[in-house]
Amino acid sequence: EEKETVKSENKEVLIQDARTGLTVEALKKAILNNLFYVQGKYPEIATRNDYYMALSFAVRDRLLQRWTSSVKQYLEGKNRVVSYLSAEYLLGPHLANNLINLGIYKEMEQATQELGVNLQWLIDKEVEPGLGNGGLGRLAACYMDSLATLEVPAIGYGIRYQFGIFEQDIRDGWQVEDTDNWLRRGNPWEIARRELNYEVKLGGYVQHYMDRDGRYRSNWMPELTVKGVAYDTPILGYKVNTCNALRLWKSEAPKSFDFQSFNSGDYNHAVNQKIICENISKVLYPNDETISGKILRLQQQYFFVSCSLQDMIGIHLRQGEKIEDFNVTFAVQLNDTHPAIAIAEMMRLLLDEHDLEWVDAWRVTTRTFAYTNHTLLPEALETWDLELFGSVLPRHLELIYEINKRFLDEVTIKVYGDHQKISSLSIIGEGPRKFIKMANLACVGSFAINGVAALHSDLLKKTVLKDWYAYSPEKFSNKTNGVTPRRWMVLSNPKLTALISEKIGENWIKHLDELKNLEQYADDPEFQKSWMQVKLEMKQELAKRILGKTGVKVDPESMFDIQVKRIHEYKRQHLNVLHLITLYNRLKQNPKMDMVPRTFIFAGKAAPGYKMAKLIIKLITSVGDLVNNDPDVNHRLKVVFYPNYNVTNAQRIYPAADLSEQISTAGKEASGTGNMKLSMNGALTIGTLDGANVEIREVVGEENFFLFGLTAEEVTQKRNEGYDPYTYYKSNKELKLAIDQIASGYFSHLDDKIFKDLVNNLIYHDPFLVLADYESYVACQDKVSEAFRDKAAWARMSILNTARMGKFSSDRSIREYCDDIWKVKSVPVHLNGDS
Ligand code: OX2
């Protein structure tokens, strides 16, 4: 409990004012004040948005109080700071999360109620900042929450996209994209720091000369200079005073007009320059796990990295420290290779702007950065065409050549004559056109390299980063992903949270391992009943939303079989569909059969340019149209495609899941994090031995996990032997029927062309071994159905899943990063004025 006190006439006096007070009265006063002084309204004429803003500013005031205290404390103590560089942050709505972390959810509920407005109604008004694609961006958001909760001094750096991930609508069964204008009604959670801005050069050429002291110098003459302006969002930890900054950069023109052009009458040129500059932070690239190779993307990456490093150097020098000690002040984590250009930019800043010698600059750089790899998919490993790269970053191209030359000299001594190794370690790829390999740049320049699940880290060492592992094994480690229980349990599943806390207290919210205290109730029939009652209520709520959004009526008593994530061939939503069609065919052949009723729920966005992914969505909706309207099925099967999967919708879906589909081809999903959130909310998993599934199965116990499919090793072996999907298609009757139906237009009003590419891809190529895993998947699903009939046994497994998920708190992940990689410590924050 926060108490703010001042000494007055030798008495401790409690201050509960409208800006900082946490009581119902103080909150009421704050809301009314903001309504009047910020929104300019009195209650009778205030809109829902006015109330949302008034409430949010009331919460923000309380965050700012903690934020300024945190900053003050960090600076005074000269503490080592974590700097997280990420091109994406998939934050989700702030309001409810901040109420929870401040510990004033109940108080605010009462305050709003007394003012005659409903809190949930205002929470639902928030437009979430969708500044990320999927797991990678959401991980960054969970990590920011845990850093603050563990009281670690940290800054998150990224891009303030004006338009985040597109909004998805389904029309005629197809995905259509709409722009995400999230800033339309203003953003109460950010503070523009106009005074915090940096110039970033782009394009042009480099001049070389000798200065008066005989020092060789480079002078980058850019074609364009843009300005980055800082926008800060406070990130408060759970029931602590630590409030860190998420600092996102907005690009602008350095001056509003190019006056030279303007005065000489070239108005268009002047305005165009402004547009070009503003374009850099305009829109998030909607590709998950695929590189785009576009100039604008490289500009975005460089833009935010350069602003961030200039900002960090400024902070470091203002502390009175020497530039040579930069790595003592900051540990900088690269969230995949998107910010890897930081390594060359750090060198440029140290050499060209701060006059260090090469060896000193390289020493500082390689003690500063650590790199997290998030994927083994070859199509996701970033490369840049060398010529394109040089046209945007001519100075960095020179620096990369030099870094590479020095590095390869060293390599050559070690692996003399092994040209294969040398070319695999080289930052520059040779081919018809040369290219820059960003993963290699990240590896040379970092002191630590990690994967995001045990299997993934292991495969990294054996495959894509094999030669790097052989070269510097000491850099490698694993850091299994985690998710924050504050958002993914407390906020999204308040009823389950209350039930758990009733039994074991509230400590688990900060120490998730304590969930294991629930195990003792797993066999308790009363507890099982309450547990399943919460599940049912969450399913009823979701059913209502489904009806509203899609018009499909689903039965909350049926098994909610859920696959929600980006649509990607490697995640194999089509394998799920093949099972669905198989169940449908069984029912058609035997309408009287006793089948466990299932509701198949899919959600996820497809990259707008990813044809096959979009076709998979159309397949799901087409099968759904037929199945949902077939009287023979008699409501035993329902298919839902829930549109516009984002953080807000994920929060509503996870608590309602009975079955969590984690069915990627083994070796392809680096970790997955939806798998953790679903399991925490009591869903059982059907999954392959892939990513974090392996570790989830380990902790929940193999008897509480539905395993199927080839292992990563078997997948590789099968490919090497010459995998032929056609033989699987021919030899399995149910599989053949399902595929033939798709091909013949059975689900598409007899249109036999629409799914042709998908079908041909499956039976002739099948790069993700859907057909090879089909039989094992369907057999496993049959076991799932049988298990679901035994309600008590299912409840037990569900409880044990939640009880054993402690490991997958992002608090555990962050603690490991802090101890093993960043070497940073907690710094408890006291409120200013607090004793
Ligand atoms: C994702 C991975 O696909 C996913 O498996 C992982 O859980 C997540 O990152 C967080 O680590 N883009 N998105 C990812 O990797 C890349 C690249």
For residue 479, which amino acid is it?
K
Residue 689: name the closest of 456, 500, 357, 389 by CA: 456
Mean pLDDT for 243-267 is: 83
Mean pLDDT for 544-565 is: 98
- Span 209-222, pLDDT tens digits: 999 989 899 999 99
pLDDT of residue 257: 56
- Span 59-71, pLDDT tens digits: 999 999 999 999 9
**Residue 134 CA, ligand 1 centroid: distance in Å:** 8
566 is catalytic: yes
Q: Active-site residue among 242, 365, 375, 673?
A: 673
Q: Quote the longest CA-to-CA distance of the chain.
A: 93
- Evaluate if residue 105 carries a pLDDT over 80: yes
- Evaluate if residue 355 carries a pLDDT over 50: yes
**Residue 477 CA, ligand 1 centroid: distance in Å:** 17
Indicate the average pLDDT of the chain.
96
Domains of the chain: 78-93+128-481+818-822 (3.40.50.2000), 488-808 (3.40.50.2000)
Indicate if the alpha-carbon torsion angle 397, 403, 407, 409 is positive or negative.
positive
- Span 220-237, pLDDT tens digits: 999 999 999 999 999 999
What is d(CA 792, CA 120) in angstroms, rounded to the nearest whole number?
Answer: 33
Tokens, residue 346? 């750090």
**Contact assessment for residue 436 and residue 389, using Cβ atoms and an 8 Å cutoff:** yes
Mean pLDDT for 771-791 is: 98
For residue 414, which amino acid is it?
K
pLDDT of residue 434: 98
**Contact assessment for residue 573 and residue 601, using Cβ atoms and an 8 Å cutoff:** no
Residue 254: name the closest of 219, 232, 222, 218 by CA: 222
Ligand 1 pocket mutation, candidates 136, 165, 288, criterion most atoms within 8 A of CB:
136
Ligand 1 within 6 A of CB of 375: yes
Q: Active-site residue among 316, 571, 668, 697?
A: 571
Mean pLDDT for 98-119 is: 98
- Evaluate if residue 89 carries a pLDDT over 60: yes
Beta strands in 213-304 (DSSP E): 216-221, 224-236, 243-252
Mean pLDDT for 375-380 is: 89
Q: Active-site residue among 29, 94, 374, 461?
A: 374
pLDDT of residue 8: 52
What is d(CA 531, CA 146) in angstroms, rounded to the nearest whole number?
Answer: 27
- Span 291-326, pLDDT tens digits: 888 999 999 999 999 999 999 999 999 999 999 999
Angle of helix 573-589 versus helix 770-789 axis, rounded to 10:
60
- Evaluate if residue 12 carries a pLDDT over 60: no
pLDDT band of residue 270 (cuts 50, 70, 90) is: confident
- Span 459-508, pLDDT tens digits: 999 999 999 999 999 999 999 999 999 999 999 999 999 999 999 999 99
ipTM for the complex shown: 0.99
What is d(CA 468, CA 463) in angstroms, rounded to the nearest whole number?
Answer: 10
pLDDT of residue 265: 78
- Evaluate if residue 121 carries a pLDDT over 60: yes
- Evaluate if residue 327 carries a pLDDT over 80: yes
**Residue 99 CA, ligand 1 centroid: distance in Å:** 29
pLDDT band of residue 256 (cuts 50, 70, 90) is: low
* Residue 552, CA distances (Å) to 555, 621, 629, 636, 646 in order: 10, 12, 10, 13, 20
Instruction: Determine the atom of ligand 1 nearest the C-alpha atom of 139.
Output: 10
- Evaluate if residue 714 carries a pLDDT over 60: yes
**Residue 518 CA, ligand 1 centroid: distance in Å:** 31
Ligand 1 within 6 A of CB of 336: yes
What is d(CA 233, CA 8) in angstroms, rounded to the nearest whole number?
Answer: 35
DSSP 466: H
**Contact assessment for residue 56 and residue 102, using Cβ atoms and an 8 Å cutoff:** no
- Evaluate if residue 282 carries a pLDDT over 80: yes
Residue 539: name the closest of 628, 680, 681, 655 by CA: 655
* Residue nearest ligand 1's atom 12 by CA: 289
**Residue 292 CA, ligand 1 centroid: distance in Å:** 16
Ligand 1 within 6 A of CB of 373: no
Residue 573 sits at the vertex; the CA angle it makes with 627 and 550, to the nearest 5 degrees, is 45
* Residue 455, CA distances (Å) to 470, 479, 664, 713 in order: 18, 11, 14, 11
* Residue 469, CA distances (Å) to 333, 461, 644 in order: 19, 6, 40
pLDDT band of residue 835 (cuts 50, 70, 90) is: very low
